[in-house]
Amino acid sequence: MSANHHSFRGNKSSLPSKPCVACGRPMTWRRRWAKTWDEVKYCSEACRRAKGSA
Ligand SMILES: [Zn+2]
């Protein structure tokens, strides 16, 4: 039983996704990215460092 149904308009089968700019793997929307999804470019810290734009 799930108490939180309002994470992404309740449509779990159509979460957004986009490719990581470093490794090209598809990233599926995660709750931790809810506020920064448009800015998310890397699937992981490793990829962020690999591209080294920090
Ligand atoms: Zn990646």
- What tens digit of pLDDT does each residue of 11-37 get? 567 899 999 999 999 999 999 999 999
CA of 24 to the centre of ligand 1 (A): 6
CA of 39 to the centre of ligand 1 (A): 14
**Radius of gyration, alpha carbons of the chain:** 13
Q: Where are the domains of the chain?
A: 16-51
Residue 4 near residue 34, CB atoms below 8 Å: no
Does this model's pTM top 0.75? My answer is no
What percent of the chain has a predicted confidence (pLDDT) above 70? 72
Give residues whose Cβ lies within 5 Å of ion ligand 1.
Answer: 20, 22-23, 43, 47
Using the predicted structure, report yes or no on whether residue 8 has a pLDDT greater than 90: no
Q: What is the dihedral of CA 22, 26, 7, 5, to 10 degrees?
A: -160
